[in-house]
């Protein structure tokens, strides 16, 4: 029997119909304790999920679905090093990277924790040398700028964290280059001094096309001034598993920071891929980031399903995607430091859950994943909140905010939080016709004008949202927040029986690009194309000649 024909799935569908006549205003009016019953604390994070289209019965049914899908056992399988990435026959152990206990973690009967601790010690030693000025460039000057060259998880994770922890950045200036468009690399390099610039080449295989092209161009730029290839070793380090490729590039293998095939790209910031973070904020703060993630790991692993923050967020996502046909989710961090957070969660969620076959390779007959988008508040209020409030789509929202700022302009923060809270309330309550009419009458409009304006002034409300609060955006809290969304994504993938840890969908375009690149450069056909693509290639070649 497929999941959609199971008794629990059918019960959820029936229950969804019974909720269609209810409004969140009524649910709050009927239950004065709704906030306290539908909120919880996990580590530094406080979640209010009371503004969701749920009742006790909803939660009971969703937890039953999680139990039926074997969620607790599957979660333990991940933490224990089982090869839950079935299509690639790999373990999934980003949690081991931030394991702060003395507990061993085994892959193929081998404890991986000694290797993890070895690389952390290497990162500590190197980042301390660079930050202190002990590590110097070829001309004897200290490093002032670090350029991280990577793409996907090798870029989004460390870039997001460094932006979020800007208040803690007291090391060299960090720059991130990811786009194969040479304009990205040039916009960074044109203002830097090669004598005081360190490059980090982040590629697990050391074969990623975009990263290697950018790295070789950076190498050429560097050698235009440094002249001698022996100086590469003082200005380039690698985050990779490909020792031969790293050595061939000219990087001293002593400055190759290892990670392993059980570290997925979008889960890799906890590994050596986090070296830019350590350089920016120091190893002590990087380890605090790991501590926060570990605290969330422990909560996820140990808390009962009905009081488990990642489980609840994951189940609420399933509720809206599969039973309300919600195709998007908006994430709204009211903290400028989190301006890269949504991009990071986009990759985490959409690359993980953008699958249309089960782990067994069978087509699914239900929706998986949703489009994740958003931006920092209050900017979004002046851009797309109109759609959230009065549009025709149901768009579940996550609102995220610190209680205390980490900047000196403290007078701004009450205004920020007031907007933050007001938006969640407005989405939930809306504005009735009676309220809108009374408001227009108070403003002195004529009866005719009131009737004309009334349809435009009404808000349906009943729009669901989660509210995540924390004291301040420090490394520990950020670690917990990232891990929360990682585990939420895992929960959804386990319910849907899809592999959250492969990404075959990005490969086809890469394969075709290699052939098209040759056709553009050599003016000869190497692949059969559809008429549109062939016409476009010819059109471009004609104008480049």
Cβ distance 331 to 341 under 8 Å? yes
- As beta bridge partners, residue 48 has 39, 467
Residue owning tokens 């460390």: 158
Closest listed residue to residue 494, CA positions, set 324, 308, 291: 308
Of 5, 190, 220, 382, which is the active-site residue?
382
C-alpha atoms less than 13 angstroms from C-alpha of 327 in its C-beta half-sphere: 2
Residues 6+ apart with CB under 8 A from 346: 372, 373
306 classed as catalytic = no
351 classed as catalytic = yes
Instruction: Give the Cα separation of 23 and 462 in Å (integer).
Output: 6
Instruction: Give the Cα separation of 520 and 257 in Å (integer).
Output: 36
C-alpha atoms less than 13 angstroms from C-alpha of 110 in its C-beta half-sphere: 6
Of 73, 141, 510, 517, which is the active-site residue?
510
The number of angstroms, rounded, from the C-alpha of 267 to the middle of its chain's C-alpha atoms is 9
Of 195, 351, 486, 519, which is the active-site residue?
351
- Exposed (0-12), middle (13-18) or buried (19+): which is 403, by Cβ within 10 Å? exposed
Residue owning tokens 């998007």: 328
Closest listed residue to residue 116, CA positions, set 97, 95, 100, 92: 97
382 classed as catalytic = yes
- As beta bridge partners, residue 373 has 330
Instruction: Give the Cα separation of 484 and 473 in Å (integer).
Output: 15
Q: Rounded to 5 degrees, what are φ and ψ at 391? A: -75, 175
The number of angstroms, rounded, from the C-alpha of 457 to the middle of its chain's C-alpha atoms is 36
Q: Rounded to 5 degrees, what are φ and ψ at 520? A: -70, -35
Instruction: Give the Cα separation of 146 and 127 in Å (integer).
Output: 11
Sign, CA torsion 226/230/231/232:
positive
Instruction: Give the Cα separation of 444 and 472 in Å (integer).
Output: 45
Return the active site residues: 351, 382, 510
């Amino acid at each position: 029997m497929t999941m959609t024909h199971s008794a629990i799935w059918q019960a959820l569908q029936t229950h969804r119909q019974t909720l269609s006549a209810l409004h969140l205003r009524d649910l709050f009016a009927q239950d004065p304790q709704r906030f306290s019953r539908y909120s919880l604390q996990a580590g530094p994070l406080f979640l209010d999920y009371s503004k969701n289209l749920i009742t006790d019965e909803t939660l009971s049914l969703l937890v039953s679905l999680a139990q039926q899908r074997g969620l607790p056992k599957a979660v333990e399988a991940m933490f224990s090093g089982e090869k839950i990435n079935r299509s690639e026959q790999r373990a999934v152990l980003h949690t081991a990277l931030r394991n702060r206990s003395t507990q061993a973690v085994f892959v193929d009967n081998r404890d991986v924790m000694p290797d993890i601790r070895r690389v952390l010690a290497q990162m500590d030693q190197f980042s301390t040398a660079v930050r202190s000025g002990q590590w110097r460039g070829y001309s004897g000057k200290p490093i002032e700028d670090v350029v991280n060259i990577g793409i996907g998880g090798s870029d989004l994770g460390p870039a997001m964290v460094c932006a979020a922890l800007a208040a803690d950045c007291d090391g060299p200036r960090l720059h991130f280059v990811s786009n194969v468009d040479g304009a990205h690399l040039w916009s960074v390099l044109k203002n830097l001094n090669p004598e005081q610039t360190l490059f980090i080449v982040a590629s697990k295989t050391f074969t990623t096309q975009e990263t290697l092209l950018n790295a070789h161009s950076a190498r050429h730029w560097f050698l235009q001034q440094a002249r001698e290839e022996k100086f590469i070793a003082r200005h380039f380090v690698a985050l990779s598993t490909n020792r031969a490729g790293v050595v061939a590039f000219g990087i001293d293998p002593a400055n190759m920071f290892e990670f392993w095939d059980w570290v997925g790209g979008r889960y890799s910031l906890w590994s050596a891929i986090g070296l830019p973070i350590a350089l920016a904020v120091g190893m002590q703060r990087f380890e605090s980031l790991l501590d926060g993630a570990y605290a969330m790991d422990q909560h996820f692993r140990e808390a009962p399903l009905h009081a488990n923050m990642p489980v609840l967020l994951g189940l609420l996502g399933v509720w809206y995607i599969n039973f309300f046909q919600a195709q998007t989710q908006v994430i709204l961090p009211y903290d400028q430091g989190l301006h890269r957070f949504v991009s990071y969660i986009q990759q985490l969620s959409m690359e993980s859950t953008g699958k249309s076959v089960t782990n067994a390779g069978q087509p699914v007959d239900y929706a998986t994943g949703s489009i994740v988008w958003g931006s920092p508040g209050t900017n979004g209020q002046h851009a797309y909140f109109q759609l959230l409030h009065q549009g025709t789509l149901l768009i579940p929202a996550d609102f995220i905010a610190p209680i205390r700022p980490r900047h000196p302009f403290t007078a701004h923060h009450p205004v920020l939080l007031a907007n933050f809270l007001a938006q969640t309330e407005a989405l939930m309550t809306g504005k009735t016709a009676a309220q809108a009419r009374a408001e227009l009458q108070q403003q002195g409009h004529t009866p005719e004008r009131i009737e004309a304006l009334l349809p435009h002034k009404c808000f349906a409300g009943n729009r669901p949202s989660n509210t995540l609060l924390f004291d301040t955006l420090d490394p520990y809290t950020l670690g917990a927040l990232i891990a929360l969304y990682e585990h939420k994504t895992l929960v959804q993938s386990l319910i849907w029986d899809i592999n959250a840890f492969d990404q075959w969908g990005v490969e086809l375009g890469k394969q075709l690009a290699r052939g098209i690149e040759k056709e553009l450069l050599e003016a000869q056909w190497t692949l059969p194309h559809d008429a549109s693509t062939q016409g476009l290639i010819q059109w471009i070649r004609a104008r480049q000649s």
